Amino acid sequence: MDLINESIQHYAEQHTSSEADLLKKIERDTHAKVMMPRMLSGHLQGRVLSMISHMIRPQRILEIGTYTGYSAVCLAEGLQEGGKLITIDINEELEDRVRDYFAASSYNNNIEYKIGNAVEVIPALNETFDLVFIDADKERYSVYFDLVIDKVRNGGFILADNVLWSGKVLDAKPDKDTRAILEFNKKIQDDPRVENVLLPIRDGIMLMRKVSL
CB of 160 within 8 A of CB of 145?
yes
To the nearest 10 degrees (0 to 180), the angle between helices 141-148 and 176-190 is 30
Alpha-carbon span 4 to 203, nearest angstrom? 9
Alpha-carbon span 112 to 134, nearest angstrom? 16
pLDDT at 132: 98
3-state secondary structure of 82: coil
Domain boundaries, the chain: 6-210
pLDDT at 4 over 90: no
CB of 102 within 8 A of CB of 126?
no
Torsion, Cα of 77, 104, 70, 33 (10° steps): 170
**24-57: pLDDT as tens digits:** 999 999 999 998 988 899 999 999 999 999 999 9
pLDDT at 181 over 60: yes
Cβ burial, residue 8 (10 Å; 0-12/13-18/19+): exposed
pLDDT at 60 over 70: yes
Q: Say what percent of the chain tops pLDDT 70.
A: 99
pLDDT at 3: 74
3-state secondary structure of 127: coil
Q: 6-210, which class in CATH? A: alpha beta
pLDDT at 2: 62
Q: Say what percent of the chain tops pLDDT 90.
A: 91
**96-133: pLDDT as tens digits:** 999 999 999 999 999 999 999 999 999 999 999 999 99
**124-180: pLDDT as tens digits:** 999 999 999 999 999 999 999 999 999 999 999 999 999 999 899 999 999 999 999
Is the pTM higher than 0.85? The answer reads: yes
